[in-house]
């Protein structure tokens, strides 16, 4: 087994969001079902309508991009489910479950590929967010679960 695919047995946590499109369409349970079916544990769960301040922190890396303002409008426009998931390599694993950012290109079998589509908007509505690295996960978990309610 190559180094890059070796299981280092480190339990990770990742921040997952069911975005407002997924919440509105009643897909929260389906997303959580896929996470649990994969074998990851749900360590924290919250339903909320995020304000722009929280979203600006969460999406700081995208500030200035053409889809940034539409992204904040979209994400602040309804309720989301925020979850912390847990398991060995769950950051990479959930990104694989989610599929490509563009829901049209996302492969069938993935959350975005099975459940998402292009609606002709300035921002891609693609059902879920998942942290992309251990550093992002730690930063994002602190943004969405700031009060240390996480065990």
Chain positions contacting ligand IDP, by CB under 6 A? 62, 67, 71, 101, 123-124, 126, 129, 132
Shorter beta-carbon distance to ligand IDP: residue 28 or 151: 28
- Which residue is associated with the tokens 């499109």? 21
- Which residue is associated with the tokens 């339903």? 47
Q: Closest distance between ligand IDP and the C-beta of residue 82, in Å?
A: 14
Q: Closest distance between ligand IDP and the C-beta of residue 132, in Å?
A: 6
> Nearest to ligand IDP by Cβ — which residue?
101
Among the listed residues 128, 129, 130, 145, the single catalytic one is 129
Does the annotation mark 58 as catalytic?
no
Q: Which of 4, 10, 3 is nearest to 91 (CA)?
A: 10
Sort 73 into a burial class: Cβ within 10 Å, 0-12 / 13-18 / 19+.
middle
Shorter beta-carbon distance to ligand IDP: residue 40 or 131: 131
Q: Closest distance between ligand IDP and the C-beta of residue 2, in Å?
A: 25
Q: Closest distance between ligand IDP and the C-beta of residue 21, in Å?
A: 9
Do residues 99 and 112 make contact, with C-beta atoms less than 8 angstroms apart?
Answer: yes
Burial letters 76-99, b for 16+ CB under 10 A, else e: beeebbbbbbbbebbbebbbebbb
Q: Which of 55, 87, 78 is nearest to 68 (CA)?
A: 55
CB neighbours (10 Å) of residue 140?
24
Active site residues: 129
């Amino acid at each position: 087994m190559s180094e890059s695919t070796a299981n280092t047995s480190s339990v990770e946590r990742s921040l997952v969001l069911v975005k407002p499109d997924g919440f509105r369409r009643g897909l929260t349970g389906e997303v959580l079902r896929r996470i649990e079916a994969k074998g990851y544990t749900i360590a924290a769960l919250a339903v909320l309508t995020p304000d722009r301040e929280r979203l600006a922190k969460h999406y700081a890396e995208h500030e200035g991009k053409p889809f940034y303002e539409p992204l904040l409008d979209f994400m602040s426009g309804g309720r989301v489910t925020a979850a912390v998931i847990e398991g060995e390599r769950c950051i990479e694993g959930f990104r694989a479950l989610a599929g490509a950012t563009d829901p049209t290109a996302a492969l069938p079998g993935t959350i975005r590929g099975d459940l998402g589509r292009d609606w002709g908007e300035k921002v891609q509505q693609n059902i879920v967010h998942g942290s992309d690295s251990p550093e992002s996960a730690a930063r994002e978990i602190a943004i969405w679960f700031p009060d240390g309610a996480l065990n």
